[in-house]
A and B are shown apart, each in its own frame.
Chain A
Amino acid sequence: MSTKLVEPQTSNGTAHSKTAAGQDLYKHPDYFLVEELLTDEHRLIRESVQAWVKKEVSPIIEDYAQRAAFPHQLLKGLGEIGAFGPTIPVEYGGSGLDYISYGIIMQELERGDSGIRSTASVQSSLVMYPIYTFGTEEQRKKYLPKLATGEMMGCFGLTEPDHGSNPGGMVTTIKDKGDHYLLNGAKMWISNSPFADIAVVWAKDEEGIIRGLIVERGMEGFTTPEIHGKWSLRASATGELVFDNVKVPKENLLPKSKGLKSPLMCLSSARFGIAWGAIGAASDCYDSALRYSLQREQFGKPIAAFQLTQKKLAEMITEITKAQLLAWRLGVLKNEGRATPAQISMGKRNNVDMALKIAREARQIHGGMGISGEYSIMRHSMNLESVVTYEGTHDIHLLITGMDVTGINAFM
C-alpha cells in the first residue's frame, strides 16, 4: 500500500520548481522594501527586463551554457528591450535613462545569466560609453545607433596575456605612420571578441601614453581567435584580439582618450553595473533555494524546517538586502555625479563576493540537484568565478579600498 500526502503544488512528487514545469518562478526578494526608494519608472524597468528574461533567457540558457555556445539570437532582443547603452542619449540610439535604471537592467539580466549580462555590460559600458565619452561627433553618429540596436556588436580590449591586474604595463602599441596608425600586439580574455564587429582597443603610442582606438573586423592583420574550455561564463563568447601590423585609419582614434585613466573610467562604469548585476545572480540562487527547501522533504519534514537550512537562508537574505542598499546608494551617488571610483570598486567587490558565497550555500541547499542543470545554481556559481576576477579581481579591489582609506599604494 503506498499513498503519500503532498501539497497540491508538488503533486508531481518532486520539488523541481523551475525547469520540470518548464517555468521560471522567480520572485524578486525585497526584504527591506528597497523598491520604495526607487521611482515607479525604475520598478517598471525591473518588471519589464525580468519579464523579458523569463520569456527569452530562462528557457534556453542552461542548454547554451552546457554546450558552451553563445545564444546569438538574443542580441536582437537585447537591443529591442534597450539593454545596450540605456544611459546614452536618445539622439544616439540610447534610452537616456539614469544610472539606477542601468543598474536594474544589469541586475535582471544577471538574474538570468552572468554571461548575458556581460555582453550587455561590455556593449554599454566598455564600447558605447568610451565612444560617447572619448569619441568625435562622427564616431558617435557612425557607431552608437547601430550598437544600441545590437545590429553592430563591440568588444573591449585592455587585458593582455602578460598584463591583467596591471594593465598599465601593456605592450600593445600604435605607431603614427602619417595617414594611419600601425597597431601591433595581442589582447586576451576579451568578452564578445569572437563575434564582435568592432573592438575598442587600448594601446600605447610612441610616448608610452595609452590611447583608445576603434578597430573594425575585416582590417588586415586583425584576428579574434576564440578561447575554448572555460568552466565559467560558458554562454558568453570569450577570445583574443591579435594585431599583426594592422593599419588603423586615423579617424578611428578616440581623440579624447589619454592615459590609463580613460580605460579605467570605462571599467568604473561597468563595475557599477556589476555591483547591481551580482545581486541578480544572488537573488536567483536565494529564490531557488527558498522554494526548494520548502518543498523538499527529508526526515518527514521540509528541509526548510531544519535550523541549519534556516541559518543559510537567513544569512542569504540578509546579505542580499545589504547589497541592495549599497547598490541603491551607489546609484544615487552616481546619478548625482558623486560616486568615486573607490566607492564603485567597493560595491563591485562586496556584491560579487556576496553573490559567490550565496551561490555556494544555495548549491548545498539543493543537495545533489544543486549540481545539475535542472537548477540555475551551479551555472551562477561557476559564472561568478569569472565575475569575481574580471573588471578587477577581488584582491585588487581590496587594494583600491586600502589605498583609498590609508593613502598608501600597496599595489607594487
Chain B
Amino acid sequence: MALVTKENAGLRLVTRYAVLTLVALVFAFPLVFMIISSLKPDQQLLQDTSSLRAFLPVGDISLDNYRAAFDRAPIGRFMLNSIFVTIVTVSMSVAICSLAAFAFVYMKWSGRDAALSIVLATLIIPFETIAVPLLLMVSRLPWIGVEGVEWGWLNTYRVQIVPWIVDALTVFLFVQYFKDLPRELIEAARAEGASWFQVYRRVVMPLSGPVLATAVILKSLKMYNEQYLWPLIVVQDEAHRPIMVGLGYFFQLNVAWGELMAYLTLISVPVLVFYLILQRAFIASIASTGVKG
C-alpha cells in the first residue's frame, strides 16, 4: 500500500523536475556545443572537446569565425534561397495536397479508391530511387520565360520547388483529418447551395487548423533542413544554391570547424524563429495528430 503524504508528493515533484531537466540538457548539449564552438578558434575548439570546457565560453572568444564564414560563402544568399524555396513549396503543397485529399474524401468519382492507394503507395518509394529519372526529366522540361520558351530546368528555383509540392505524406495527413470531420457539416454546406470549392474554402479549411499546422511544420522542416541530394544534382550555380549544399564550402581540404559551427548557428536562426512563432500550433499539432517531425 502506497502512502501518499506531503513529503512523498514533494519528492515526486523534485524527481520529475530532475528528470525533465536531464532530458532538456541532453537535447540542449549539441546546440550549446555548436554555439560555443562557433566562438572559438579551431585549435582551442578541438582541444576543448575532451573536457567540459566544450560547453563553456572560455578562452579565446571572438566572432572571427562568423566573419570568416561570411567571406567563405554567400551565406545570406543561401539562406534566402532556402527560405524562398521553403515558403513557395510549403504554401503550394498544403493548397494542392488538401485539395487532392478533399476530392479523395468527399467527392465520388470512379477509380477514386484505386487512385488513393496509388498515391499512398508512393510513401514507400525512397527519393534516391527516382532521383536519376527525375533529373533526366527536369533537364529537358520546357518553361515559358520572358524570352520565350526555354528548355531545361537546371539551376533554377522551380527545379527545387515543383518536384516537392505534392507528397503522399501531406495528402495522407489531410485525408485522415478530413475523414474525421463531421460529414453533416459538409452536407449542410452543400444543401445550403455551396459548390464543392466553396465547401472546401468556407467550411473544410477553416476547420482544418490542426492538420494545417502539422503539414506546414513537417514540410517546412523538410524543405529547409533536408534538401541536400537533389539541389546538389540540379543546382550548380551559387545564385540558386540552398543552405545544406552550402555546408560543402566548409569541408575543403581541411575542415574549418569553427566556421562550420558559425555557419550552422546562423542557418539555425530561421528555424528557431519559425518555431517560436508556431510554438503553440506545434505542440497542439503533435498532441492532436501524434506525428513528430
Q: Do A and B come from one complex?
A: no
B interface residues (Cβ-Cβ under 8 A, vs A): none
A interface residues (Cβ-Cβ under 8 A, vs B): none
